[in-house]
Amino acid sequence: MNVLENLKKIVSDFLRGKEPYEIAVENFVKELQKTLLRADVNVKLVLELTKNIRERALKERPPPYISKQEWFIKIVYDELSSLFGGDIKPQVFPVKTPYIIMLVGVQGSGKTTTAAKIAYFYKRYGYRPCLICTDTYRPAAYEQLYQLSKQIDVPFCGDPKSSDPIDIAKKCLSYCINNNTNIIIIDTAGRHGYGEEEYLLKEMQDIAKAVNPDEVMLIIDASIGQKAYDLALRFHSATPIGSIVITKLDGTAKGGGALSAVAATKAIIKFIGTGEKIPELEVFDPRRFVGRILGLGDL
């Protein structure tokens, strides 16, 4: 059963009950709130979303020949999909080359693995990707991306001796361009940007200034909780986020935090990571994701 069918069943179950329509709506909205909160969607977003749904469901009248059930389900689906920018599969192929992508995110969200996955994805479509490591903090960050680049046979650039990420970014960018590559993927150090790490947001800005990326990609862990909204907002105000990759969707996390990040940044979700191996990257499919958030079936 597809997601929409499933959702329909839940709604009609609600509406088929003996309660009057208003109470059925109220009950459904409560249930929906619970589901979204369990999926880690930001509390304020949930309240706003369900408020809209309730208002529309109670005020607007269904057009002729359309049942209340169908009308209600349409409202729920509309509101949910407008949360992450609509029902369209994202466009992942660049409009120009060379195309520079800069990856940012919190420690451990999966940036380095994702960098290699994206390189591999584009390589398979005939692009010539190049990987750059600018993480000068984490031990063996250079080796990690280097090993991954060897596995997928893609040019790699970095400097394990340097501690200046901006300088590395600049030098490696010209290395990649001189090597006739056309998708340049820049991996950066993990940062959360709170407290003592505030200066790391500035550093991220400086790297962006130095390389002028065509796209800044926020890598976000599917299991992240309520902090996702604020975190994404902080990253976004430092360096406008163009797209989002949700990682580790092979676990049990529902990924609602990522949805909250989307709402905060108005960026689009492009890819999802579904495993630790390099080919385990998929183009984002909004419908399936809404299904997952609602706990209807799996990917």
Partner 1 sequence: MFRKIKELFKSITTQIVDTIKYRTVSPEEVEELVNEVLLRLVEADVAYDAANIIATRLKERLLNAKIPRSEKVEDFAIGLLRSTLLEILKRGVSEINLLSMSSERKPLKIVFMGVNGVGKTTTIAKVAYMFKKHGLKPVIVAADTFRAAAQEQLREHSKKLGVPFVGGKYGADPASVAFDGIAYAYKHGLDAVLIDTAGRMHVDVDLMNELRKIVRVSKPDLKILVLDALTGNDAIEQARVFNEYVGVDAVILTKVDADAKGGAALSVIIGIDKPILYLGTGQRYEDLVPYDPELILKLLL
| Residues contributing to the site for partner 1 (CB under 8 A) | 34, 37-40, 43, 47, 106-110, 112, 137-141, 143-148, 151, 192, 194-197, 221-227, 230-231, 248, 250-254, 256-257, 276
CB of 142 to partner 1, least distance (A): 8
Burial classification of residue 125, based on how many CB atoms lie within 10 Å of its CB (0-12 exposed, 13-18 middle, 19 or more buried): exposed
98 in helix, strand or coil? coil
Nearer to partner 1, 13 or 276 (CB): 276
CB of 215 to partner 1, least distance (A): 22
CB of 60 to partner 1, least distance (A): 27
Nearer to partner 1, 118 or 210 (CB): 118
Nearer to partner 1, 26 or 230 (CB): 230
Nearer to partner 1, 78 or 197 (CB): 197
CB of 114 to partner 1, least distance (A): 11
CB of 12 to partner 1, least distance (A): 25
Q: Is 106 left (phi over 0), alpha (psi -120 to 50) or beta?
A: beta
Cα(136)–Cα(156) distance, rounded to whole angstroms? 15
Cα(148)–Cα(278) distance, rounded to whole angstroms? 8
Nearer to partner 1, 69 or 223 (CB): 223
CB of 109 to partner 1, least distance (A): 6
Nearer to partner 1, 112 or 243 (CB): 112
Q: For residue 124, which of 156, 152, 89 has the smallest C-alpha distance? A: 152
Report which residue type is found at 88.
I
Nearer to partner 1, 206 or 230 (CB): 230
CB of 37 to partner 1, least distance (A): 5
CB of 203 to partner 1, least distance (A): 14
What does the buried/exposed string (b/e) look like for 69-102 if buried means 16 or more CB atoms within 10 Å of the residue's CB?
Answer: bebbbebbbebbbebbeeeeebeeebeeebbbbb
Nearer to partner 1, 79 or 221 (CB): 221
- Taking residue 211's Cβ as centre, other Cβ atoms within 10 Å add up to 19
Cα(225)–Cα(121) distance, rounded to whole angstroms? 28
Q: For residue 213, which of 225, 205, 221 has the smallest C-alpha distance? A: 205
CA-to-CA separations, 242 to 92, 263, 270, in angstroms, rounded: 12, 12, 10
- Dihedral of alpha carbons 106, 255, 245, 212, sign: negative
Sequence-distant (6+) residues with CB within 8 A of 249 are 222, 255, 272, 273, 274, 292, 299
- Taking residue 19's Cβ as centre, other Cβ atoms within 10 Å add up to 13
